Amino acid sequence: MRIVILDPFEVLSTDLLGRVGRLKTRKGNITTPALLPVVNPFIPNAVSASEIVDLGFQGVTTNAYLILRNAPECTSVHNLLKIESPVMTDSGAYQLLRYGTISVDQERIIAFQKRLESDIAVILDVPTGGYASEEQAMRTAIATYQRAVEALPLIKDDNRIWVAPIQGGPYTHIVDRIAAQTAALDYSMYAVGSPTELLEEYNVAPLARMVWVVRQRIPYGKPLHLFGAGHPIVFALFAALGCDTFDSAAYAIYARDDRYMTPYGTKRLKDLVELPCSCSICKKFSEAKELLDVPKPERERLLALHNLNICLQEEKAVRQAIREGRLWEYAKARCLAHPALKAAFRVLVEGAEKLIPFTRTRKRRGLFFYDHDDLNRPEVLAFKKFLKEKWFPRTSKVLLLRADKLEPHLERFFLNPPSDYQVCLWGGPFLIIPCEIAHTYPLSQFEAADCLISEEDVLWIADLLVAKGVSEVLLVRSGDPLESILLERLRSKGVQIQVCDKPPL
């Protein structure tokens, strides 16, 4: 029976560039963002695909090239793995990256993935790797693009999801150019060829920049896969950057090395006293040493199962954060676990203006502001844009009151605003709020640490008022040292200043 999949991806909920989506495969839907753990059916004693599905994962990834080498007669990847859930097959590019050569051509590996009844299949790309020279990066990125072009007639009329990887490594200008060209080929899914060696060293920022560049180029409605990102600590960040699916064998590789995953980093089992997790594996041991005493092949399996549990828990938490519209806070909290991740989070901070159209303006809960970076949240940038483009003060005389000093005057200003002054609240994370709209979301629904705004923000407030034709400012003194900078700037632009200790009645 032929199953026709018209549009394989549906976006259900969005926050930043992250989305909860429905990826429709021939073996059922995958709710994204989702990790499809890598399984190798030819390793005895490894965690099996059916165990992974039983844990709650929605599908797995395996390698078509390995199956071709070890079971060339295989006609069903689902039978081989003994699961009925969606299976993604990689083409062998990882082996090419690791061993330098593989003995298969694209035509053969595409035909083989079709024969295996793979649900999500990948063309044979040429991986760049994390430490390639610029020349090598260009060569591999162009070669991968050419493969994507050559594959088109081979996959025409085939109704599984075909993935076109985009290479180029940390050279974002190359990635940008190739992503634009590949996007034009209209594949049903794209992927970022991840330099896994960078991830292993927590060197996440170059990869975050790659993903950012690719996501800007490929259509928003197309799903994006990230190869090799298997540590739960990075799921939230890469989901926020617009990745929908991940594959990784990290859970098994770490387990082999006696490394125990937590959502905020990896620990060596020998360094742990407690097992800070209550999954079905960890519950069996009262302390870490008991697990360490389990003989190796079994210990490796148990650790792999724990690591998978942690990955699944994080996958669900990330989806929930997107649904609640608090992916910014969630990804940031994860990125604070390691300085290199904090640097990667800056990719979001610096690009926040482009996130505005994808960030919901109504959320079920208020926003949290921890530090100055949070003033780059798309919600704040959208409000600043509104002030610049659409707000006009009622009069040219403005009464400025510190946002946190409003409380005693609340009734006076909301129920009976003075007709001769435009009252504005300044100094909170939204910089300056006209009193009339101060109760609209999210201008009063937030929690902020003190003293978030900088001298630069205060100058922005002054320049906004000048641009809006304000000629007189009455400032209610608050004792904030930034006040003098605000007044000085206004005065230098010809605004008349008065200062008082209490707002006029």
Q: Return residues touching Zn ion (CB under 5 A).
A: 277, 279, 282, 306
Q: How many residues does the chain have?
A: 505
Query: What is d(CA 475, CA 490) in angstroms, rounded to the nearest whole number?
Result: 11
- Of the residues 90, 119, 244, 457, which is catalytic? 90
Closer CB to Zn ion, 302 or 487, in the complex: 302
**Over the Cα atoms of the chain, what is R_g?**
27
Cα separation values, 279 from 239, 302, 311, 331, Å: 24, 11, 11, 23
- What b/e string do you get for 487-501 counting C-beta neighbours within 10 Å, with b at 16 or more? bebbeeeebeeeeee
Query: Shortest gap between Cβ of 333 and Zn ion (angstroms)?
Result: 20
| Residue recorded with tokens 């003989």 | 295
| Residue recorded with tokens 């099996």 | 48
Query: What is d(CA 305, CA 297) in angstroms, rounded to the nearest whole number?
Result: 13
Q: Supply angle C-alpha 39, 210, 262, rounded to 5.
A: 50
Query: Shortest gap between Cβ of 245 and Zn ion (angstroms)?
Result: 24
Closer CB to Zn ion, 94 or 251, in the complex: 251
Query: Shortest gap between Cβ of 279 and Zn ion (angstroms)?
Result: 3
Closer CB to Zn ion, 235 or 460, in the complex: 235
Closer CB to Zn ion, 19 or 306, in the complex: 306
Closer CB to Zn ion, 88 or 282, in the complex: 282
Query: What is d(CA 47, CA 139) in angstroms, rounded to the nearest whole number?
Result: 37
Closer CB to Zn ion, 5 or 337, in the complex: 337
**Which 3 state secondary structure label does DSSP give 218?**
coil
Question: DSSP characters for 390-418?
Answer: H---SSSEEEEEEGGG-GGGHHHHHHS--
Q: What is the SS3 string spanning 28-94?
A: EEEEECEEEEECCCCCCCCCCHHHHHHHCCCCEEEEHHHHHHHCCCCCCHHHHHCCCCCEEEECCHH
Cα separation values, 265 from 93, 276, 337, Å: 28, 12, 7
Query: Shortest gap between Cβ of 311 and Zn ion (angstroms)?
Result: 11
Pair of tokens at residue 484: 């003098």
* CB 47 within 8 Å of CB 81: no
Amino acid occupying residue 34: A
47 exposure class (CB count in 10 Å sphere: 0-12, 13-18, 19+): buried
**Which 3 state secondary structure label does DSSP give 226?**
strand
Closer CB to Zn ion, 193 or 230, in the complex: 230
Q: Residue 24 forms beta bridges with which residues?
A: 29
Is 90 one of the annotated active-site residues of the chain? yes
Closer CB to Zn ion, 68 or 303, in the complex: 303
Question: Annotated catalytic sites, by residue?
Answer: 90
